Chain A
Amino acid sequence: MASSNSLMDSLFQRSLEDLIKGLRLGESTFISRSLEEIRREIKLTDLSTKSVALQKLSYLAALHGVDMAWAAFHAVEVVSSSRFAHKRIGYHAIAQSFSDQTPVMLLITNQLRKDLNSSNEHEVSLALECLARIGTDDLARDLTSEVFTLLGSSKALVRKKAIGVVLRVFDKYPDAVKVCFKRLVENLESSDPQLLSAVVGVFCELTAKDPRSYLPLAPEFYKILVDSRNNWVLIKVLKIFAKLASIEPRLAKKVADPVCEHMRKQNVGKSLLFECIRTVFSSLSDQETALKLAVAKIREFLVDDDPNLKYLGLHALSIVAGKHLWAVLENKEAVVKAMSDEDPNVKLEALHLLMAMVNEDNVTEISRILMNYALKSDPLFCNEIIGSILVACSRDSYEIIVDFDWYVSLLGEMARVPHCQRGKEIEHQLIDIGTRVKDARLELVRVSRALLIDPALLGNQFLHPILSAAAWASGEYVEFSKSPYEIAEALLQPRTCLLPDSIRAIYIHSAFKVLVFSLGAYFSAQEPTSPPLAQESTSSGHSVVNGFTYNSISSLVNMIELGLCSLSGTIDVEVQERAKNVLGFIGMIKHEIAEKATSQNSETEAHRAIAFMEDVFSEELGPVSSTAQEKVPLPEGLELNENLEGLQEICREVLEPMAESDYSSDKVSFSVAKLRIRDQEEASSSLPPPLESSSLLAEHRKRHGLYYLSSQKSEDHNDREGNDNNTSNEYPPANEISVDSFKPKKKISKPRPVVVKLDEGDEPKRKPDASSSNDESLSRAIQTALMGKGKGKEKEKERVKENHEMNVDTENIEQSSRREKKNKKNGERSSKRSSRRQRGKEASVTKPVEVPDLLL
């Protein structure tokens, strides 16, 4: 029975073509049915049936996301067939589905060896292709000698693939360098352009990882650069030199001439020309003639109608912008024009270049123009614009900002751009400027007030961080406020319930600061002012700023009390606790406010309490260095440098799969489209239910005018808005962005205020080099191969010595950590120390590698 079954299966098996036809009719059920068939067919002994089943499975896996890891063993069976057609299917399946963890990986070593030795060149290429894609450490080690043989093959097809596979073999098994490297280098002199292309491609990849090791091969590469006529080869050689020249400046001088020659040729391919320009910009920018020629040539790209060339031209300019800004300035017309291009890539590159040109003279104007662009752009680009203004202006502790009042009001304007999603950055800068620039605080408080009193802003979750900063600034610098009463009112307005609890807590705390400040002013007033008309005089804000009267202070206290009452029952403990603190404080001083109005006795209990609270809030908050934590001395007996290698060993198994899943979840599952959808969802879900809230808002606005406050104040605000409009009209409209804006204008209206800077820690910390051990051993092997045997032995000794030093180093750690405590510049010191070992190692490894003199 079984036999007839299998015969039927074999005779009437669906081919791949049948499967595809079936799939075109209807997918989901057909796939699961076909999979059942495949599972049955693949178990049959007949290799033809088995291989067709495997072929169908690989198809479904590649294009329909069907798992095929379970069929690994069957793939091994198929690949062992003597027939070429089966082998092809088998190797295809293996290359597609095997990973380092595949248990049957060990079973294919011999099959690969057999096929690498085959007389059929296409069988050999199948095996090579497979090795190139799935090669593991073991496979690379076991098959090194076969690869070595094939590197000398007389068949070009086999040889170029053998060259290609070397990359994988070296990567997995660095010792293969000892065997194969010489033959690989010999191929650099090949006359066959395809072989040359392959070998140069391999060196391009190798050099990208570790340029220093390949410096000795510079003469060979140079010869190719001068002699070759093949664009593919030349592009790769240029890429190699871009890496080499950046570590060996003398090489740059030498290479510049042939690169210029390629650029000057009449009918040079665009791809090669672009690569020449990029090489000059990235690595040869100190060579004056080359740079000038490249800048002249890049213009051809910038004015070309082909959007690809325009994009690449701008992209190349951004490479050179940091070092030679004049190259960008010379092309500024093209850059400005590209800002209004329809291609988002082109616009983005142009934006980056524009920001590179910003300086303290034109920052106001360029920002103004860009903000106008932002209002008209799609959300994505709008936020790119806002983001790049923020980055450019905050660079080096706001180096290019002279007029901080202007900048703070610009930050406030950003919050009002409808698509603005850069709340976090704006929040950070508002607070940062508050702590660093004393002179900007008045304006900061004014901008904060405008943000706080607008109830509409509370509905946009992207603005919540900005509001949090505004609330903090209003509380911290309340002494600059014209009317503390309206600030407190804004901080406790009903719509603050839309804020997340953490920000509400900040609102309450700021209201507390406002209250303490107001009470302080009230109690410290020399003599009690007469009660009547007080409310008006404070709220108009024009008369005495700090003039609190009995009426005004008690209405402030009542208003805060009323606003916080409802919050004392909130679920969030932070909000609840802060609300209760303030209420408790109010309860303590309330009756004495009344007494103060009648009695002259200044030494009351409340007076002392208020003086104490004022003290608490009066201490100035300064900027905090990012390395501040490291400056805290280590407590006695706390051992931070203890060797935790054992722990690492234990954790490795746990950590590795996690890292993998991190990669997949963070980087891979991310997609722009999804993100957009999610954003929309979030935005819509964060908004309050439309009906109820909009009616509430309408009612609210009817009662208070557009803004939260009484009509008198909104008039005041309108005045200011009018001014804003006037000033903005003075700037040229966005589409008329003029080249003149980049010309330095010398008009310094007022001196730049003091910006508090920290000695260290303002710039982000450099990450220590994390090169994997495999890379290191590969570069060691390469260097040994390039130096000959005699020196190789020396190297061995050196390595032994190094290891010894490393041990000593770990022993010394405790000692050095003690030394560290005494050192003032701890932050810098410790990072130096951690990289010292590595640098030391590098130096000892790389010292003997020198470029032969004939080239220099």
Chain B
Amino acid sequence: MIKAVMMMNTQGKPRLAKFYDFLVRCLPVEKQQELIRGVFSVLSSRPENVSNFLEIDSLFGPDSRLVYKHYATLYFVLVFDGSENELAMLDLIQVLVETLDKCFSNVCELDIVFNYSKMHTVLDEIVFGGQVLETRSDEVMKAVEEISKSEAASNSISLVPKSVSGWRGGR
């Protein structure tokens, strides 16, 4: 299964971090931050043009592997165990990036910074509880658009009553 998905920029600032491994997910947040920093310090020490895989048992427990890809100012990182194929995981990063590119047309770091919630929507369609469930970016896009629509619909009803309910609730 996939244990974690992370995105961070080349300065080490996390842009997205999602943990599926139960042990890691239940760690206190400071420990999770430490993990992210640990991953970054390994990544930043690697030269360009070398392989994209790392054995990372020291951070994520036995049988942990990491694959990363460096796009412009961002690192995309997947941590997974022996039930995933390394090259398939590399492809999955590609799927994720392609989908984001469709989502934001020419995705850049700022898109990812300011669309935190949409990022999660995209990711949740691809990876579900550590399992890869969708690899076609068109399908992901379709689901993401539907979700955005139903979100917008549920919010538009609320626009007017918001202040009113505030009044009532206060009284």
Contact = CB atoms under 8 A, between A and B. Distances in A.
Contacts, number: 215
Interface in A649-703: 663-664, 667-674
B59 interface: yes
Contacts of B114: 17, 20
Contacts of A65: 29-30, 32-33
Interface stretch (A54-62, A448-456, A512-520): A54-62
B88 A271 contact: yes
A10 B29 CA distance: 28
A776 to B, nearest CB: 19
A344 B50 contact: yes
Interface string A75-115: 00000000111101100100000011000000000000000
B62 to A, nearest CB: 9
Interface string A195-208: 00110011011001
How would you classify the secondary structure of chain B's contact residues: helix, strand, loop or mixed?
A: helix
A128 B124 CA distance: 11
A235 interface: yes
Contact of B150 (A11, A122, A194): A122
A274 to B, nearest CB: 6
Contacts of B24: 668
A345 B51 contact: yes
B87 A312 contact: yes
A674 B162 CA distance: 50
B50 A672 contact: no
A65 B90 CA distance: 28
B157 to A, nearest CB: 7
A670 B59 contact: yes
Interface residues of A, number: 87
B167 A7 contact: yes
Contact of B28 (A16, A67, A92, A235): A67
Contacts of B163: 7, 10-11
Contacts of A68: 29
Given A65-B29, A208-B83, A672-B58, A132 B14 contact: no
Given A307-B49, A668-B27, A84 B154 contact: yes
Interface of B: 1, 13-18, 20, 23-35, 37-38, 41-42, 45-47, 49-54, 58-61, 82-83, 85-88, 90-91, 113-114, 116-117, 120, 124, 128-136, 139, 143, 146-147, 150-155, 157-158, 162-163, 165-167, 169-171
List the 9 closest pairs (A to B, CB-CB), nearest first: A3-B170, A132-B129, A671-B38, A673-B41, A271-B87, A65-B33, A343-B50, A83-B154, A307-B51
Interface of A: 2-4, 6-7, 10-11, 16-17, 20, 24, 44-46, 48-49, 55, 59, 61-68, 83-86, 88-89, 92, 99-100, 120, 122, 125, 128-129, 132-133, 157, 160-161, 164-165, 167-168, 194, 197-198, 201-202, 204-205, 208, 231-232, 235-236, 239, 269-271, 274-275, 307-308, 310-312, 342-346, 663-664, 667-674
Given A308-B53, A667-B58, 17 more contacts: A7-B167, A16-B117, A48-B158, A89-B117, A120-B150, A194-B136, A198-B131, A208-B83, A271-B87, A271-B90, A346-B50, A668-B24, A668-B27, A670-B59, A671-B58, A674-B38, A674-B41
